[in-house]
Structure 1
Amino acid sequence: MDKGTLVVGVRPDLPRLGLRTADGRFEGFDIDVARYIVERLGKKVRFVPVRAADRIPVLEKGKADLVLATLSVTPERKTKIAFAGPYFTSYQDVMVRAAERGVTKLRDLKGRKFCAVRGADTAQRLTAVTGMTASLVPAADYDQCMKMIKSRAVDAITTNDVILAGLIRREGTGFRLVNARISEQNTGVGIRRGDPDGCEALNKAITTMYQDGTAAKLVAKWFAGSGLDMSIIEVPQFEGCL
């Protein structure tokens, strides 16, 4: 809270969520949320790109003050960093080719090949579903996953539904969500441990974002037309600041 400019780690590779454009700008849902909450704190913002596997290290090494990069709150991650929020509640889902008409639920894909990005924890949740088996094919990022599903090297991609919705919006046609809702994903603001005042200030800004209607507007702005369920946009249950 003593800083005039906050360095925020964001994804550069996720369309509609966190994407670095050809001219070097950042755009997407997480970018707009970051700008909103930092402005509510009365600060300036500077973005730095982080890939999935780098989200926690940039905080631990002091290279970022905050991380807004589809970072789900998990017990394991809370042993390394702290979280404000969450600022959005989503669900793990599965994306398939639109032509896969026989796939209406998760178990229709039993034994099939799934692309899973290294550094994300969604693959483990997929295989933890009772009676579900899958062959997991690792990838460096979601662009690589898209190449795999287009070439039929994999049958599906699994991750947060908002990531998949962004990919569907970018592609335009050819892909769809299964709406499997495998598990709830609370996306939080990653911060370094031992900063309860900063955490509380961020939570206040997130609450205001929902109360003044900004959150609903941003969800519609970035994900309308993707097949994502946007019927309920409400303040997530906060984790609490330690």
Structure 2
Amino acid sequence: MRARRINSALGGAAVLALALTACGTADVGGTGSGDDNGDGGDTITIGVKYDQPGLGLDEGGTPVGFDVDVATYIAEELGYSADQIEWTEAASANRESFLQQGTVDMIAATYSITDERRDVVDFAGPYYVAQQDILTQAGDSDINGPDDLEGKVLCSASGSRSAHNITEDMGIDAELREAGNYSECLELLNNGTVDAVTTDNTILAGFAAQNPDDFRMVNNPFGEERYGVGLPAGSTERCEEINEAITKMWEDGSATEYLNSAFGETDFAFEESTPELDACA
């Protein structure tokens, strides 16, 4: 697949202070009131991130970013207009519980598809395939890949497997520091409490684009993160409808447009081809 480098301005950019405080923003919606028949109801409640520039960032009560654009497109294909969407903040640690408890109808929040998560929730997609990378302070030239994290303090968000991919799967002896979300990780990196932050390159690219004088994206990607739309268990019919919407979104150019508008001048590159979608179980 052909990769394309992004050089457009960061859409809906906000100051770092907003990103660092957005995690405390009150939820919007959260009633789980969507019609599950695919032909639209009064509202649909969607969980997204509120603290990730370029992906899901709260701006005065309304989230913006790539995941938000994707979720809006999918909702409209399901029969919901934009003003029928109720947005709820879905942190990494509460995505499964939100779906199990009916707090949301679906989640588009850099939600990587894994076998472990499939045991408790369903997924449509993936709608995008990211890779993992590392973010350091701008002046740090010592960390240029996972091997350089040996003996370093590494931050990742609660509910994410990113840091464990390095310490467990790759066997690198880094000291883990778990934070509530990536905004907290950025605070710890900024004040020198941790040496690096690791997660998906999409997430890191958003932070790096907003704060190029403070943070440096290593741009040495590894692994694979397949972003899916999280659904309550047993949502086979809804999964199939969303997969159709994802295919259309890539074929009509909307997905590429969303990626271009979401990320600023970083070395992050994205694939222009439709991801290979999983079958709905």
Q: TM class, shorter-chain normalised? A: over 0.9
Shift of 1:101: 2.0
Q: TM-score, normalised by structure 2?
A: 0.82
1:13 maps to what in 2? 51
2:61 aligned with 1:24, yes or no? yes
Map of 1:239 onto structure 2: 278
Return the alpha-carbon distance in structure 2 between the equivalents of residues 53 and 130 of structure 1.
23
Of the structure 1 ranges 163-172 and 25-34, higher mean CA displacement relative to structure 2 is found in 163-172
User: Is 1:149 matched up with 2:194?
Assistant: no
The amino acid of 1:12's aligned partner reads: Y
29 and 63 in structure 1: CA distance in 2 versus 1, 3 angstrom threshold: same
Equivalent residue runs for 1:81-100 within 5 Å: 81-100=121-140
Aligned to 2:98: 58
Letter in structure 2 aligned against 1:42: G
Question: What is the rounded CA distance, in whole Å, between the counterparts of 1:214 and 1:6 in structure 2?
Answer: 21
CA distance in 2: counterparts of 1:236 and 1:128, whole angstroms: 28
Please give the alpha-carbon distance, in whole angstroms, between the structure 1 residues aligned to 2:78 and 2:104: 16
Deviation string for 1:120-165 (max 9, x for gaps)?
Answer: 1112111134452200011112221111111111110001111111
Q: Verify: 1:199 aligned to 2:239, yes or no.
A: yes
Partner of 1:113: 153
The answer to whether the 8 Å contact 2:134/2:145 transfers is no
Q: Does the 8 A contact of 1:149 with 1:156 survive in 2?
A: yes
Take 1:172 and 1:178, find their aligned partners in 2: how far apart are those partners? 12
User: Could you tell me how far 1:42 is from its partner in structure 2?
Assistant: 1.6
Provide the TM-score with structure 1 as the length reference.
0.94
Please list every run of 5 or more consecutive structure 1 residues that lacks an aligned counterpart in the other structure: none
CA contact (8 A) 1:176 1:227 kept: no
Residue identity opposite 2:274 in structure 1: V
| RMSD of Structure 2 on Structure 1 (CA) | 1.4
**3-state SS of paired residue (2:247):** helix
Indicate the larger mover: 63-72 or 170-179: 170-179
Task: Please point out which of 106, 113, 133 is paired with 1:73.
Answer: 113
The alpha-carbon deviation at position 107 of structure 1 amounts to 1.1
The answer to which of 87-96 and 177-186 deviates more is 177-186
Q: What secondary structure, in the 3-state scheme, does the structure 2 residue paired with 1:183 have? A: strand
In 2, the alpha carbon distance for the partners of 1:194 and 1:141 equals 29
Q: Kindly tell me the number of residue pairs found equivalent between the two proteins.
A: 240
Q: Per the alignment, in what secondary structure is the counterpart of residue 227 of structure 2?
A: strand
Separation in 1, partners of 2:68, 2:230: 14
Q: 1:102 aligns with which of 142, 157, 169?
A: 142
